């Protein structure tokens, strides 16, 4: 309890002390052992942006772990035909099906902001074929790890070592889908959360494009998810959420056109239950919900308190325990 009071007191200090607040909360949420004491560790490196670790299970499955080690950022299976992970990455595959009459051949180009070890790129290549994919990753060391340990060598994947927003400001490319999975745990970089950022995203989407963002909630606290709904609703006509069962992940999806859940489900219903997309459909169809703005905070370049809200989520989680 004393530690919790100490953590709460840190919030009242200047902004520079808030990382300390987050670290205290993180330590309270999950007791941390020695930083390097991770089973099956096969590689580690300190980069300019991250402390990088790669683990390999006895069956050959590899995981990319960054910084404090409380999340997996990419996964690799030794069988190259394995597509689904059972994790939130699988949900991205369903996003194009909000559009009426969508067929896989209508997906012409994909953008990924937060490429990491290339899990999403691998999945889209397997499901949609060699569609051109632009993957943006700010950390060159992670790109090297992806290529060496995660099979991130698809011929259709073009890697850009750059900040995601800077990349969009300097490219003329348009995409049928843009996937955002950028965390500097536990935070999403603020410049990738704002109305202005999503306006830029919109300018790089095709007329039937979709954007998907991975974010988080706790058991009873969805304020971060709602903030993204509020923000994205100012740019896109239709916004949806998909809570990933058994996790604190929420996928927020927004479409260029007015779309509907009924169309989404009908498009996915065409797949055989045992097919890859049939399995994805069985996961996403029951959990998709319309997202409605509630008049609350909208993230802007002038005001995007993403760290404050994330810290409040962590505190809320502690109080629920």
pLDDT digits (tens, 9 = 90+) for 57-108: 999 999 999 987 778 999 999 998 999 999 999 999 999 999 999 999 999 9
10 Å Cβ neighbour count for 46? 9
Q: Tokens 């790669």 — which residue?
A: 54
The whole-angstrom separation of Cα 265 and Cα 21 is 42
- Place 246 in a pLDDT band, splitting at 50, 70 and 90: very high
Q: For the domain 83-302, what is the CATH superfamily, name and number?
A: Vaccinia Virus protein VP39 (3.40.50.150)
Question: Rounded mean pLDDT of the chain?
Answer: 89
Q: Where are the domains of the chain?
A: 83-302
Query: pLDDT digit string (tens) for 131-175?
Result: 999 999 999 999 999 999 999 999 999 999 999 999 999 999 999
Q: Taking residues 251-260, what's their average pLDDT? A: 98
Residue 5 reports pLDDT greater than 70 = no
Residue 180 reports pLDDT greater than 50 = yes
Supply the pTM of this predicted model: 0.86
Query: pLDDT digit string (tens) for 194-204?
Result: 999 999 999 99
Find, among 293, 313, 100, the residue nearest to 210 by Cα.
Answer: 100
Question: Long-range CB contacts (< 8 A, 24+ apart) of 138-141?
Answer: 138/49, 138/162, 138/163, 138/164, 138/182, 139/47, 139/48, 139/49, 139/50, 140/47, 141/45, 141/47, 141/48, 141/49, 141/50, 141/52
Query: pLDDT digit string (tens) for 96-121?
Result: 999 999 999 999 999 999 999 999 99
The whole-angstrom separation of Cα 166 and Cα 160 is 11
pLDDT at 69: 75
């Amino acid at each position: 309890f004393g530690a919790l009071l100490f953590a709460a007191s840190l919030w009242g200090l200047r902004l520079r002390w808030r990382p300390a607040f987050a670290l205290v909360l993180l330590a309270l949420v999950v007791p941390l052992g020695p930083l390097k004491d991770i089973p099956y560790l096969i590689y580690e490196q300190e980069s300019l942006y991250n402390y990088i670790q790669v683990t390999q299970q006895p069956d050959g499955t590899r995981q990319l772990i960054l910084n404090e080690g409380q999340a997996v950022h990419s996964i690799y299976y030794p069988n190259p035909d394995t597509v689904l992970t059972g994790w939130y990455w699988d949900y991205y595959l369903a996003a194009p099906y909000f559009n009426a009459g969508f067929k896989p051949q209508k997906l012409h180009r994909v953008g990924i902001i937060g490429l990491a070890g290339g899990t999403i790129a691998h999945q889209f290549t397997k499901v949609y074929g060699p569609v051109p994919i632009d993957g943006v990753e700010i950390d060159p060391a992670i790109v090297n790890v992806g290529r060496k340990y995660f099979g991130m060598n698809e011929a259709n994947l073009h890697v850009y070592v750059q900040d995601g927003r800077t990349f969009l400001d300097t490219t003329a490319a348009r995409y049928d889908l843009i996937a955002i999975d950028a965390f500097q745990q536990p935070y999403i970089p603020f410049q990738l959360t704002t109305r202005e950022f999503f306006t830029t995203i919109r300018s790089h989407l095709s007329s039937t494009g979709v954007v998907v963002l991975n974010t988080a909630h706790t058991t009873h606290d969805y304020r971060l998810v709602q903030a993204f709904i509020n923000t994205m609703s100012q740019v896109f006509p239709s916004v949806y959420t998909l809570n990933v069962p058994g996790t604190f992940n929420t996928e927020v999806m927004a479409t260029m056109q007015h779309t509907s859940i009924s169309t989404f489900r009908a498009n996915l219903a065409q797949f055989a239950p045992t097919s890859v997309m049939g399995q994805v459909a069985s996961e996403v169809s029951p959990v998709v919900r319309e997202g409605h703005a509630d008049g609350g905070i909208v993230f802007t370049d002038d005001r995007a308190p993403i760290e404050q809200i994330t810290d409040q989520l962590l505190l809320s989680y502690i109080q629920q325990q």
